Each structure stands twice: as C-alpha cells, then as structure tokens.
Copies of this chain bind each other. A is one copy, B any other.
Amino acid sequence: MNERDALSVFAALSNESRLSVLRLLVRAGPQGVTAGDIARQINASPSQASFHLAALSDSGLVLSERVSRQIIYRMRFERIGEIVRFLLEDCCEGDPVARSCCGLKSGC
C-alpha cells in the first residue's frame, strides 16, 4: 500500500453512499450483494450505484464477480487492514497513542 493507493482508499471512504455500501457488504459476508440490490438498499439509481461501486472497486475495497446477468460485490477486508496499517505505521510511525486509542483488545 503506497501513498497513491492510500489516497484512493481515503477518497473512496469519504462519501456517505459508499460507506453505506461497505456496511451492506460487511453484513452480507462472503455471499456478497448484487449491484441491483446494493442500488435498492442505498436508494440510488443503477448508474449512481455503478459510479460508487467503481470507486470502491478501483480503490481495492471491494471485489466483483459476474454471475450470469448479475454482478456480485464482496467486501475485501484485507484492504481495510492495509489502510489501518498505513495509518498507524507509515503515516504515524507506530506512535503508541494512536495505537492505544484504537481501543482494541489483544491480537489486533
């Protein structure tokens, strides 16, 4: 994860609709959600959904797979781990305050 990648991830995350999409995909788990269902659930037009899904896809936060007529989107959790690592290590140089403020139990 270089800086360019990180910027693209942050840009993808800085939009309400796209954050809704991510939450949707997190809840759906490995099964994923089709583009149409995503559009319906976030109250967006097909082309709006497609626009936001492209941003998420380009930034590596989601993966897509065509299954007959539909396209299934799935969360890429590794990418979240990578951006967290970027924040804590690359950006903050492992600062202990940043790390302790995550409030995470052991094993993170």
A: residues with CB less than 8 A from B are 3, 6-7, 10-11, 13-16, 19, 22-23, 26-27, 75, 77-85, 87-89, 91-93, 95, 97-104, 106-108
Contact = CB atoms under 8 A, between A and B. Distances in A.
Contacts of A3: 16, 19
Counted per complex, copies of this chain come to 2
Given A10-B13, A19-B7, A95-B26, A108 B80 contact: no
Contact of A102 (B15, B19, B27, B81): B81
Contacts of A97: 77-78, 81
A88 B85 CA distance: 11
6 contacts: A7-B14, A10-B14, A26-B91, A84-B98, A85-B104, A102-B108
